[in-house]
Amino acid sequence: MPSKNYIDNKRFEELIKLYKKDPETHEEELISLFDLLITNILLSFNFKVDKDDAKQECFVLILKVLKNFNPEHGSAFNYFTTVIVNNLKLIYTKNKRYVEKINEYMKRKSELDM
């Protein structure tokens, strides 16, 4: 019996197809699968990002790229895992650069104040 943290790729792909035809009817179930996938990736990779902000940004991106998914080019699980991981790497890198810029600014400012 699959655990509640397991995503059945066959059902996932079927749900994406159904969602593309009738978003309102299938939105809740599809969103819950994406929520599970994003949460599992955040926990597994332990990205040092704000979890809520990262999750929200991943949902926005997923909704943008959902129309591009084609099961003939690979599984939904792999496709969306790649999209999410790449987005989280981008968020992490962007945040890291921002913190480095702030630290550099504060360092220069303290040097000038001396």
Q: What is the pLDDT of residues 54-91, one digit of tens each?
A: 999 999 999 999 999 999 999 999 999 999 999 999 99
Percentage of residues in the chain with pLDDT exceeding 90? 72
Question: What is the distance between the alpha carbons of residues 37 and 86, in angstroms, rounded to a whole number?
Answer: 14
pTM of the entire predicted model: 0.81
- The identity of residue 47, as a single letter, is F
Could you tell me the two tokens for 70?
A: 């084609």
Four-residue CA torsion sign, 65, 69, 56, 93: negative
* Assigned architecture for domain 9-113: Orthogonal Bundle (1.10)
Q: Are 34 and 59 in contact (CB under 8 A)?
A: yes
Give the per-residue pLDDT at 4: 56
The answer to whether the CB of 47 falls within 8 A of the CB of 88 is yes
